[in-house]
Amino acid sequence: MAEVPAHVPADRVYPFDYHNDPLISEDIHDGLLRLRQDAPPIFWTPAHGGHWIVSDTDLMVSVLKTPAIYSSRQLQIPPREDAPRMIPESLDPPEHLLYRRLMMEYFEKSRIAHLQARVNFWTDTLLADLEGKAECDFVEVVASRLPVYVFMEFAGFPLERADDFRSLVDGMFRSSDPAQRQNYAMQIMGELQQLITARMAEPKDDILSKLIEADFQGRKLTFEELMSIGFLLFLAGLDTVTNAMTFGIRHLARDGALRARLRDNPDRIPDAVEELLRRYTFPTLPRQVTQDTELGGVSLKAGDMILCLIALAGLDETLNPDALSVDLDREKRTHFAFGTGGHTCLGRHLAKMELETLYRRWLEVFPDFEIDPSRKAAAPRGGAVMGIPELWLRLPA
């Protein structure tokens, strides 16, 4: 635990470890709600070298939409100068926008429409493997595979290495040890170096090959830039949708009325996707203070790290009345599941495509299912991307 700096008032110190805190050891979202109730809206925790945490939605908006003061250039807590860059995620304006425009070309809705066929194929293939089974670990057999297989084909990662790559990403996000996380990062960078080198020698029809050939500001991207973009693609593409699927299917397993409504009205599945993302947002977003400033009545110093608990935006009763309920008919739905501001997730359209397809096909194949009561629920995983490592389901005969 770090010492409390002189500029932090004593009444703003609250111990919370976003990786391993007892508050989130049973249920992440219940724990974060208790934290928001018990702790100040912005507070200092001595965990992980010491950093600020923001749970208030308005304060999070101020942080995430003011990059001149709250920079994305350091996304590690505690900060590490040797941490791999992730273009464009770890850039600020105006540099960020230049790279974002380059990447947007490959992730717009119209540009990924052709992936629907591959999403259908992998969804049907994985669900067919469950035929005749009485139970399954949904994370192991579906959630950790479907988005990974689709994204690896799209990005140009070797599909036969899917389990190896997924293991690296899971290890990096699961670990709370900075040195261990850095070790995983270096292993990922080693894999990327080999892959990019291979694509430079022999281009294929994938996003890595297209980025290698792309015109960026009148030039080609450097090898370092390609590595940085690849690192972000690797982390974002191989983990985030897995967690969204797991939280969503867990809720459907508990909510028979919603299952029945979606089976009878599959046209409402896009609304269910948005509502479940709102209810179970799972990333956290770090920023670094660039200059002495004030936020929420406290003084921040240049260099301070600040973590936004964006799951709490979707659970804000002032924005989403009766926020704990999953309501397809909600008039207005506000959440930060894909971030907010200039760093809104580039892969959101692909994520929604995968989620909509999975929910539709899953409910066709398994109209009724439940959480397996004979299995002890696995402890959630905290960290930069919070998740559920296992979800055992009992399937209908």
Whether residue 66 is predicted with pLDDT greater than 90 in this model: the reply is yes
| Mean pLDDT value across residues 2-31 | 95
Taking 80 as the threshold, does the pLDDT of residue 169 lie above it?
Answer: no
Residues near 233 by beta carbon (within 8 Å), at least 6 away in sequence:
151, 155, 207
Residue 353 has pLDDT above 90, yes or no: yes
**Do residues 350 and 115 make contact, with C-beta atoms less than 8 angstroms apart?**
yes
Confidence check: pLDDT of 83 > 90:
no
Give the per-residue pLDDT at 233. 85
- What does the pLDDT look like over 188-227, one tens digit per residue? 889 889 999 999 999 998 999 999 999 999 999 999 999 9
Q: What is the pLDDT of residue 295?
A: 98
The predicted pLDDT at position 311 comes to 98
Q: What b/e sequence results for 315-341 when a residue is b if at least 16 CB atoms lie within 10 Å of its CB, and e otherwise?
A: bbeeebeebeebbbebeebebbbbbbe
Task: Kindly list the structural domains of the chain, giving each domain's residue range(s) and its CATH number in brackets, ordered by start.
Answer: 10-394 (1.10.630.10)
Rama region for 371: left / alpha / beta (φ>0; ψ in -120 to 50; rest): beta
Spatial distance between the Cα atoms of 63 and 389, rounded to a whole number of angstroms: 30
> Nearest 5°: CA angle at 37, between 32 and 38?
95
The whole-number pLDDT of residue 173 equals 74
Indicate whether 81 pLDDT > 90: no
User: Which pLDDT does position 240 carry in this prediction?
Assistant: 87
pLDDT at 252 over 90: yes
- Which amino acid belongs to residue 253? A
CA distances from 225 to 204, 239, 265, 381 (A): 19, 22, 45, 31
Query: Region 295-299: what's the mean pLDDT?
Result: 97
pLDDT of residue 140: 93
Decide the pairing of beta strands 305-308 and 285-289: antiparallel
- Return contacts of 200-208, CB within 8 angstroms, 24+ apart: 204/156, 206/153, 206/154, 206/155, 206/156, 207/106, 207/154, 207/155, 207/156, 207/233, 208/155, 208/156
Are the CB atoms for 251 and 280 separated by under 8 Å? Answer: yes
Beta strand 305-308 pairing with 51-54: parallel
Q: Is the pLDDT of residue 357 over 90?
A: yes
